[in-house]
Amino acid sequence: MSGAGAVLSRQLAGRVAIVTGGASGIGKGICRVLAARGAMVAVVDLDGEAAGATAEEISAGEARAAHFQADVTDRASLDDVVGQVVDLYGHIDICVANAGVIAGPGFTERRDYTDDDWDATQSINLRGVVSTNDAVKAHMIERGAGRIINIASHSGRTPRGAPGSLGDIQIPYSVSKAGVIQWTMHLALQLGQHGITANAVCPGTLWTPMWERIANMRKRFDESVRDLSPREIFDRHIGLNVPLGRPQTPEDIGNAVAFLASDDARVITGQALNVNGGAMMN
């Protein structure tokens, strides 16, 4: 490897990253990119077995990764993992709060949101991010450095869907992601004096198990797509809504996270970066 590729491969050398929800989907893509850039990655997930498989896959090459089981709704669980990571690697440089859900259990069976959807999205998507950040703050303040990157969504920036549409089920999700963006801005104000940056990344549309479940829900309630496969529904959505005409990948989100975690972004804080192919421009 030579030139820019060689520089990127060592961009995060010697740094330690902790990624929640790191076992699959966007989180797995983030872990892979950070490891490829030289970071030692702590793959954290509620599913400890899946986290182990991801860490093993990453460690099959020259990269280094370890796995940990934690529940982001349980602050004590997060504090324990942070302590284990510090014991293992000596420090934490990068915190990526990625764990999230689209709605409560059984959301594909209904058109409208329920209290379960509000409870799940607020406790995992928002409070889980806050707790993850809070679990590493004291350590980063003591070191006088750190990068915090929270995974929000472009749906947290503006309402989507007409009243009564299938978008109603996603309202709690969008509100929780708007909260993540607002929280990140407050965090940037709070931690800037300690040399710590805090930014959000707002993914657009990715083909993940979560989106496949959304597509199946649309098949159930929307006659216009009933004869399409979940992937065909997804591809049609991309064609209609994304100016670049292609979906994003978990690695695309990982590349944005890696940039914000690098020295190239040392004066960037309190920002929410869309990575969505132009589907939303703000």
Give CA–CA dist 257/94, Å, rounded. 10
Residue type, 219: K
Beta strands in the chain (DSSP E): 16-20, 40-45, 64-69, 94-97, 146-151, 196-203, 272-275
Rounded to 5 degrees, what are φ and ψ at 2?
-145, 170
CB 173 within 8 A of CB 103: yes
DSSP state of 172: H
Other residues' Cβ atoms within 10 Å of the Cβ of residue 79: 16
Token digits of residue 73:
């709704």
Quickly tell me which residue has 């216009």 as its tokens: 224
Q: In 222-279, where does DSSP find H-type helix?
A: 230-241, 250-261
Q: Following DSSP, what letter does each residue of 15-33 receive, concatenated?
A: -EEEEETTTSHHHHHHHHH
Which residue in 113, 173, 183, 259 is the catalytic one? 173
12 CB-near residues (< 8 Å, 6+ apart) = 34, 37, 38, 39, 94, 258, 261, 262
Q: Which residues of 154-184 are buried (b: 16+ CB within 10 A; e: fewer)?
A: bbbbeebeeeeebebbbbbbbbbbbbbbebb
Q: Is 173 a catalytic residue?
A: yes
Give the torsion sign (CA, 185, 190, 192, 195). negative
Active site residues: 173
